[in-house]
Amino acid sequence: DAKTTQPTSMDCAEGRAANLPCNHSTISGNEYVYWYRQIHSQGPQYIIHGLKNNETNEMASLIITEDRKSSTLILPHATLRDTAVYYCIVRNAYSGAGSYQLTFGKGTKLSVIP
């Protein structure tokens, strides 16, 4: 699976949009981009995923560049409860054994500030 690069930490004012970038310059055609987050003492929480097109759900929006080498997760109105470590993962959904194993990097620690 392609490697991802994320900033170590970010701050965001409560009520503002949080824009979390991810670089995945070696992504291949069959690889999806997934975002998860992990709040202290909880399991990883799935947020959103996409292949080529931008995606939106009740939690967030995912913007993928046209060349697919980077993406941005947008939390439109950040709250204190959004403080967490956010993980960007690129994974091939079509390959064989081992493709289902999720590997989290260091992620971005997002701090939402009152």
Return residues touching another protein (CB under 8 A).
Answer: 32, 34, 41-46, 49, 51, 93-94, 97-98, 100-105
Rounded to whole angstroms, how far apart are CA atoms 37 and 82?
9
Which residue in the block uniquely carries the two structure tokens 């999720």? 102
Contact indicator for 82, 33 with CB cutoff of 8 Å: no
* Comparison of 45 and 79: residue with beta carbon closer to another protein: 45
* Comparison of 77 and 106: residue with beta carbon closer to another protein: 106
Rounded to whole angstroms, how far apart are CA atoms 36 and 107?
9
Least separation in angstroms between CB 105 and another protein: 7
Least separation in angstroms between CB 53 and another protein: 12
* Comparison of 58 and 94: residue with beta carbon closer to another protein: 94
Rounded to whole angstroms, how far apart are CA atoms 109 and 10?
6
